[in-house]
A and B are shown apart, each in its own frame.
Chain A
Amino acid sequence: MGKIILPNEIFGRPVKGAMERILAKDSQPIQQPQPRQGNMPDLNGFVYVPTTGLYVQKEKQLHGKNWAQTQEELGKQGMKPPTIEELRQFLIYLKQNPNPENTQIYNEITQVRNPWRSEWLDAKFEKSGKDMHIIYHAFDGNSIVEKNEKLSGHLTEDKLPGISLEKWLEDATVHGLPKSGIEEGQLYYWAPVSGYVARFFAGLGRAYLICSWDPGDSDSGLGVRGVMREAPRDASRGGN
């Protein structure tokens, strides 16, 4: 039998120091953990997205609140807003699993029509030296921790109009942003700007993926869809 040779590099990242990197995250979350509080939401109001292992609310809530307020309020419910990639995976799932409800949700988010609808996304952008970073949140155990990662490969210029919604759903950067060179289309795109946050908008005439919105803004049409992680399972009974 051939001997398995363990590599020193995997998926383009060095093995050396990998333990320290993941264990450091355990002991020092960048943001204080926000344990879930209150009752678990009724799962009937959620769509489960297998690619992310997350439940996404079918309907928006917390209208009229700014970006930071929605983060705080959702945190109290053990939830967070979807990142750009989580929204993208949600849309892919809705599209690939068409039924009246999924189609209605997909259209509610993306369809160009009146009245306008918009939702906050969990993405803030900060310049660090020459690099643009994205700050978002992720579930880690029972905590929600902040992540700060360098962006790369994304479209850095506004496209008015626009990028192809379909191509964006087909392929994107690891952070869910449209890749540079993406096919043109009708989805207006505002590229990341330092100090600003992301939201998705659809109204009469056009739809937008906006990565440069004032986090202090609020409006009655602007809400947020909460996401929560997959219910914990007893892995010791695995069927493998």
Chain B
Amino acid sequence: MTEKPIQGVYRNSTPLMELGGRSLYLPDLVNACLYGRLNLFLQSDTGSGKTQLERDTMSRFGDNALFILGRNDMDTRELFQQVNPEFLKAIKKGNQTKAGIRSLTDKIGYHLIVVDELPNCVAAVRAQLFNLFDGFIEVDGKPYSIGKGYSVGIASGNLGQKFTESANDLGRALKDRMHVTVDVDYFFQTPSDTLEILVGNTNPRVEFDCDAKDCSAEIIEKHKALVERNIPFEKLLLAGYFVHGLDYCVAGGSPASKRKMKDNWPTAIDSHGQGSDEALVLPLSTRAAKSVIRLSQALDYTVQENAGNDVKIDPVDSMLQAYKFVSAYSGVLNEALVRSAHGGDKYKATDAIIVTTKAQLETQKGNIAAGIEMAQSGKTDQRVLDRFTGRWGFVKDILENQTKPQED
């Protein structure tokens, strides 16, 4: 039987996106992150319901979920105590062999680690928490796997201005280890949701859905099925655009690389590019591009789970929506331009990038189809390759490599 999307205590019917003609909501995005095994950070002011959403999600993992409330006085010792008291006892004793530690870490079966108020944690604890999200624990510099092959993290907190300062320790850590970030305040519950919540009860505490069944095995199976799915070529191409195409800019009248410009970006961009995405956004890292593809695949999976496998989903739309939720808070945006041109709204800024990307892609669709036909023929045609210039120059390199006879 297909499991239904999260229907716990949390209520929020504000859509995050439309995909395949269907609206997707915050619980759907959480689902997609679970299926895609993508760490999710919920950024918000207090009282937005994010802890309730975390609790709802935990209830679907039965005993295989670990909840940690971030505090600034928590040390790694206390964290280990929470993870497994036996584990801490063994470390205290010392003289533990690698095999001995492994036998203990193997017993740590948490598939979901939820950290409420993560920014409160000190750096050393945060580092261990991120390790837990990624499925291992580090003892004496050695990693030991936990979670029996599947683990994922959901963290939340109100980062405020700190989050935007990607140069600081917390910003860098989040950028590196959290794959998807949602600012819940931009997708706040509707007034009807609020009324429904208030009518339900007036208990201000977070509620735990005790009746929820343990679906962790089902979620892990879905994750495995998702990973096995073929990735459409359109998605790979768009990922290339995010990594290489968005690196292209014009400075001093010549093509340039934003990566190579380092701190000269965006001030050195030519004047006509100052109002464009050339000055608005940096390219994605390869790691972030992987997250975009994985989230896109997971969003497709979630839509089809909700509405049936016959729902047609445009791979471009899917990738662009995934890009929005991976990139908006990942430190790639020019904060000054976001403030001056988009009212400080990072999602509006990424929407503007999406509009540009769509328009850019529209001009290249015929050329890309021709390039693929050329590659399939095994013979390069300069007339086709010459059509890929500027931010589309990266396609030329891909096509040239794909045109070479493939070795088995």
Contact = CB atoms under 8 A, between A and B. Distances in A.
A51 B359 contact: yes
Given A26-B383, A97-B341, A240-B394, A11 B278 contact: no
B247 A239 contact: yes
Interface residues of B, number: 57
A216 to B, nearest CB: 32
A89 to B, nearest CB: 7
B257 interface: yes
Contact of B275 (A5, A17, A48, A174): A48
B316 interface: yes
Contacts of A19: 370, 373-374, 381, 384
B356 A51 contact: yes
Contacts, number: 120
B389 A233 contact: yes
Given A11-B365, A52-B359, A93-B275, A238 B255 contact: yes
- How big is chain A's contact interface, by range? 35 or more
A239 B370 contact: no
Contacts of B373: 15-19
Contacts of B245: 240
A43 B273 CA distance: 13
Given A10-B233, A97-B275, A234-B254, A239 B366 contact: no
B257 A240 contact: yes
A10 B248 CA distance: 24
Nearest to B383: A23
Interface in B360-401: 360-363, 365-370, 372-376, 381, 383-384, 387, 389-390, 393-394, 397
A22 B367 contact: yes
B233 A7 contact: yes
Interface string A82-93: 000000010011
A10 B361 CA distance: 12
Interface in B177-204: none
Q: Which of B236, B259, B376, B387 has the most CB of A within 10 A?
A: B376
Contacts of A4: 233, 236, 402
Interface in A9-50: 10-11, 13-19, 21-23, 26, 43, 48, 50
Q: Which of A16, A22, A240 has the most CB of B within 10 A?
A: A240
Contacts of A18: 366, 369-370, 372-373
A220 interface: no
A174 B342 CA distance: 25
A235 B383 contact: no
A214 B379 CA distance: 50
25 contacts: A4-B233, A6-B233, A6-B376, A10-B233, A10-B368, A15-B372, A15-B373, A15-B376, A18-B366, A19-B384, A23-B370, A50-B277, A51-B356, A52-B359, A96-B352, A98-B341, A234-B255, A235-B255, A235-B393, A237-B254, A238-B248, A239-B247, A239-B249, A239-B258, A240-B247
Given A97-B341, A239-B247, 6 more contacts: A6-B233, A6-B375, A7-B233, A13-B366, A15-B369, A240-B247
